Amino acid sequence: MARVAIVTGGTRGIGEAISLALKDAGMTVAANYAGNDEKARAFTERTGIKAYKWDVGDFEACAAGVAQVEADLGPVDVVVNNAGVTRDGTILKMSRDMWEDVIRINLGGCFNMAHATFPGMRSRKWGRIVNIGSINGQSGQYGQVNYAAAKSGIHGFTKALAQEGARAGVTVNAIAPGYIDTDMVAAVPADVLEKIVAKIPVGRLGQASEIARGVTFLCSEEAGFVTGSTLSINGGQHMY
Ligand code: NDP
């Protein structure tokens, strides 16, 4: 039986590339998204991958969404927590809503999805959870205390949950992408982006497919000894 995978935010950007890569690796994929029905419809037409709408920041919606996927496709073996948003501003201009939205969706989404899927993986003695962090969660970023805190939290969440899953065959890892050519980065002003690219040793933005390749490895049967790790895919921009 093919493994069943859920990719949150899986209908565009990095998530789309991950959905496609897991499908190519032989998995049955469910791609979650938040509200962009038009992109989700086009994605399903293009790829044949079913799209499911729910807000990963909503605990009950995640439980219901996972139950629907399991009813349609079978027990979930793999979760890629990729959905993420930015609400940038210096702390002087950051409202409480901007803070709470980013923590709720980016970090809370990982908890909500793991809460709905980890018990099943544990009882079936096999599972893969990959959380998409960020270079800005490793090094911090001006104007992003909310996003940096959420992404940094993802790295701690990963290490803690990895310890809970290790004996039961459930691995939990993170990927910390650098700057990847998606809609999220297209929103960065051109002059700022130019300065960012100048600081990337390989001299270019990353491609979504380069993140997807790392996810595919971490979700593979062969990666059972890799857990609690963070794979940085950032063109050498941050090394440690
Ligand atoms: P995009 O903005 O291109 O896509 C975001 C995806 O997440 C969309 O599918 C969107 O759905 C979905 N989404 C947003 N909010 C929610 C929600 N509340 N519930 C469910 N789905 C949601 O992002 P990227 O592809 O650029 O980024 C993907 C991940 O990678 C994010 O976690 C991001 O923080 C991280 N990352 C990105 C980097 C980059 O350079 N692009 C760098 C480092 C990390 P919809 O289409 O319906 O809006």
pLDDT at 198: 96
CATH number of the domain to which 42 belongs: 3.40.50.720
> How many of the other CB atoms lie within 10 Å of CB of 22?
28
For the purposes of burial, counting CB atoms within 10 Å of the CB of 97, is it exposed (0-12), middle (13-18) or buried (19 or more)?
Answer: exposed
pLDDT at 227: 98
Residue 148 covered by a domain? yes
Pocket flag, ligand 1, residue 35 (CB < 6 Å)? yes
Provide the percentage of residues in the chain whose pLDDT is more than 70: 100
What are the angstrom distances between the C-alpha of 86 and each of 38, 46, 80, 115, 144? 21, 27, 19, 24, 8
Alpha-carbon distance of 78 to 198, in angstroms, equals 36
Looking at the predicted complex, does its ipTM rise above 0.85? Answer: yes
Alpha-carbon distance of 25 to 17, in angstroms, equals 12
For the purposes of burial, counting CB atoms within 10 Å of the CB of 150, is it exposed (0-12), middle (13-18) or buried (19 or more)?
Answer: buried
Structure-block tokens of residue 105: 């969706």
Residue 240 covered by a domain? no
| Closest atom of ligand 1 relative to the 81 alpha carbon | 32
pTM: predicted TM-score of the whole model, two decimal places:
0.98
Q: What is the mean pLDDT of residues 142-147?
A: 97
- β-pairing, 127-132 vs 78-81, is parallel
Residue 71 above 80 pLDDT?
Answer: yes
Pocket flag, ligand 1, residue 57 (CB < 6 Å)? yes
pLDDT at 131: 98
Q: Which of 33, 52, 142, 147 is catalytic?
A: 147
Alpha-carbon distance of 160 to 142, in angstroms, equals 27
Structure-block tokens of residue 22: 């897991």
pLDDT, tens only, 98-143 = 999 999 999 999 999 999 999 999 999 999 999 999 999 999 999 9
pLDDT, tens only, 201-234 = 999 999 999 999 999 999 999 999 999 999 999 9
Number of domains in the chain: 1
Is 147 designated active site? yes
Which stretches does DSSP call E strand in 123-224?
A: 127-132, 170-177
Alpha-carbon distance of 212 to 15, in angstroms, equals 8
What is the span of the domain harbouring residue 122? 4-232
Residue 52 covered by a domain? yes
pLDDT, tens only, 171-200 = 999 999 999 999 888 888 899 999 999 999
Residue 25 covered by a domain? yes
Encoded amino acid at 234, one letter: N
Spacing, Cα 83 to ligand 1 middle (Å): 4
Pocket flag, ligand 1, residue 219 (CB < 6 Å)? no
Q: What is the mean pLDDT of residues 42-68?
A: 98
